[in-house]
Amino acid sequence: MQTKSEQNQNEIGIEDIRTLIKDDMNAVNQLILESLYSDVALIGELGNYLINSGGKRIRPALVLLSARTCGYQDEMHYQVAAIIEFIHTATLLHDDVVDASEMRRGQETANAVWGNEASVLVGDFVYSRAFEMMVKVGSMRVMEILAHATNTIAEGEVMQLLNVHNADTTIESYLNVIHSKTAKLFEAGAELGALLSDATEEQVSAMAKYGMHLGTAFQLVDDVLDYSSTADEMGKNLGDDLAEGKPTLPLIYTIKHGTAEQATVVRQAIENGGLDNIDAVMEAVKSTGAIEYTAEMARAEARSAREALTLFPESEYKNAMLALADFSVERSY
């Protein structure tokens, strides 16, 4: 039998979560726009294009929800949430150049519009502005967590680069990449919300675990959606990872558990890149159960995220964080 809290949480959707933190998020968005200002017009133009491109804003929302779950009543969480979004934005600008991507969130990437040079340099500006904002927080512990997260994300990007066209990439190696590249910023956001609230070390650690598991679930579901969604739903070009020779979890699983013929098709797709055999790859991935395997791993991560919240008192914000874990694996975009 479900508890009253679980019943209430199950009735919460992503729009309810957005409504709950609407005022907080509006304050963060205003701070983001103010902090993007530069006398160099291109910086503001390109930065605003990306900031206003319709992202889910999950990472800054995590800061807000974590802080409120821990009873925070001040306003410094706005600053930290904006910093988290700036770091994420900078990584997107650089990622799209590295990956030569042309679509993100249903529209052209910044590098497709302004060119690679502008995207890299504005990404540098956004990174450096984030570090300027860290100083205003006035906490060496906050700076330490964010600096470490930024460094870990860069390591994850390099690890992913080393795995490109490597059909022998293991599941363990792939998970190391997404823990560093994607989940680390989720972890930092949730951890910092608790830290700002003067939560206990046990609570700060629990929030960090929640963020890490949530971020991992999000990335694994992205892997699933690559093979079960449409380009419009995903807001990017389906098959991008495959075309770039990136060995995602469904592909790694298919090589290991498929027939010799299926393994060869996927292996060649990773090693050569391109989409020449995308239909055969899609069929192999679906028939081997790779999609369900990846989805189940994502659900396990979401369950671990929920379990990390057990030591926090009941509140509408905690219920929203529980619902966010469910959304991470139920979403179609």
Radius of gyration of the chain (CA): 20
Output the tens digit of pLDDT for each of the chain's 333 residues.
Answer: 344 445 455 578 899 999 999 999 999 999 998 999 999 999 988 878 877 776 778 999 999 999 999 999 999 999 999 999 999 999 989 988 888 788 776 678 888 889 899 999 999 999 999 999 999 999 999 999 999 999 999 999 999 999 999 999 999 999 999 999 999 999 999 999 999 999 999 999 999 999 999 999 999 999 998 887 554 544 455 567 888 899 999 999 999 999 999 999 999 999 998 888 888 999 999 999 999 999 999 999 999 999 999 999 999 999 999 999 999 999 887
Contact 208, 246 (CB under 8 A): no
pLDDT in the model for residue 239: 65
Least Cα distance to 217 among 295, 271, 274 occurs for 295
Contact 80, 191 (CB under 8 A): no
Domain with residue 85: its CATH number is 1.10.600.10
Q: Domain of 303?
A: 4-330
| Assigned token pair, 277 | 């055999």
How many structural domains comprise the chain? 1
Contact 218, 58 (CB under 8 A): yes
Q: Any alpha helices (H) in 182-312, and if so which ranges?
A: 184-196, 201-225, 231-234, 240-243, 249-257, 260-272, 278-287, 290-307
Least Cα distance to 206 among 219, 217, 218, 195 occurs for 195
Least Cα distance to 83 among 196, 175, 171, 7 occurs for 196
| Assigned token pair, 315 | 């509140």
Contacts of 280 (CB under 8 A, 6+ apart): 265
Residue type, 37: Y
Record the pTM: 0.92
